[in-house]
Amino acid sequence: MRFAPSPTGLLHIGGARTALYNWLQARHDGGAMILRIEDTDRERSTPDNVEQILDALRWLELEWDEGPKSQYERGDRHVEVLGSLLASGAAYRDPATSQDVKAWKDRHGADRGYRGEASDDPGAAVRLRVPDDGDTIVQDLIRGEVRFPNAAADDFVIARGDGSVLYNFAVAVDDADMGITDVIRGDDHLSNTPKQLLVMEAMGVEPPRYAHLPLLHGPDGKKLSKRNGAASVQELRERGYLPAAVRNYLALLGWGTGDDTTVMSTEQLIERFDVSDVGRSSAIFDEQKLRWLNGRFMREMALDEYTAVVARHLGREPDERLRAACSIVQDKAQTLNEVWPLVAFLFEEPVTDEKAWRKVMKDGAFPLLEEAHAALSGVDPFEPGQIERALASVLAERDVKPGKLYQPIRVAITGGTVSPGIFESLAALGREAALRRMRRALDRDRKARRNG
């Protein structure tokens, strides 16, 4: 197997799925995955772009077995094979496609015409001879047999007049030399495949098996882009997704198990994956479904692992304080980015949402909050079960629904209306800090009513 990206920017989601499928198939078959960087576009193939691809693969934890190999650095080998094909007659120089046709005319006369025949002119482009009849057949593992009539194809250019080879020639030579047995790539490459097969036939080598993946679309049915979803692996990382969840979700974009299993470990994916089970229809990348799956993975992590992952994402130390914060938010956050807004009140004084505060303090909330403050003052130990019982007594005495009491407390201690469970939040904050914030809110409200 090989994954062969062009380093012209960030690794987009479709490319990440292609890398994953190659990796899963290699691991499933007990084979190797080669990482080859197709960097012949020297203007765009910068070291930074190469590093961005490597960074994305490392974050996804898709380790490669060989490489990264530079296609550009294999230029001498490409020229060597090109010379062999010229010597055998499988390829020929065509001055009509030279980048310097005018110079050729000056040397040979403008009235000679151009018949596409062989020439010893070193400036002429090189074409591969395509058979006049028959078909070039792609036995695709996903699409089945795909035929390309040779009569409809011209002798295509495999090297420019300056001697540099073109993409389809270089890819065919590299795949042959590297012993690639399977090629999994997007179906936008399907039209390239017959050309690569013809080059390999001219070389006298056995071609690999091909599987062309339907391209990914966004929820709007259009080709996936920044407009309708995250466009790159790095964006998913920045949005707080877990590598394991991303691997699981990307694997399901076009492939699935017979029993419709959704949540799978990487080991299960390796065991069950087979590219021949990929469907022919375009798959939809829906970030809402990824968020749900990511939340599942986060909830199922051991607390120490969860704390370590959150700490790394936040750039903090995984100390006991953060561990306590993680313990009350683990069942609520769906991405790592959602953790800090939910637990920040435990680490810093909150800024109160004035609109939320005015809303919750209507309809008699002030005396409820005063009674809650008094009830919590005597709670010892200050832990969720004891806190719940103390507040339950206030609810029973006042005969009000829980939200009428819990929301004013929540806004008082966190500054907003969204938090982990109220009992767990109070316990994690601690009695002294919780009572102080509640009293500050009461004093503030009393002053506002006195002045208003």
Residues marked as catalytic: 226
Pick the closest to residue 242 from 152, 188, 315, 312 (CA basis): 312
- Look at the chain and count its residues: 452
Tokens 């800024």 correspond to 351
Pick the closest to residue 63 from 266, 208, 254, 295 (CA basis): 266
What is the CB neighbour count within 10 angstroms for residue 392? 13
What is the CB neighbour count within 10 angstroms for residue 150? 15
Q: What are the Cα distances from residue 407, in Å, to 227, 346, 392, 420?
A: 37, 17, 14, 12
What would the 3-class secondary structure string for 157-205 be?
EEECCCCCECHHHHHHHHHHHCCCCEEEEEHHHHHHHHHHHHHHHHHCC
DSSP letters, 190-247, are GGGHHHHHHHHHHHT-PPPEEEEEPPEE-TTSSBP-TTSS--BHHHHHHTT--HHHHH
Residue pair 58/91 in contact (Cβ under 8 Å)? The answer is no
Instruction: Assign 302 to helix, strand or coil.
Output: coil
Helix ranges (H only) for 259-401 are 266-272, 287-299, 303-314, 320-329, 339-343, 354-360, 365-377, 384-398
Q: What are the Cα distances from residue 69, in Å, to 4, 37, 46, 74?
A: 9, 6, 15, 9
- Paired with 256 in beta bridges are none
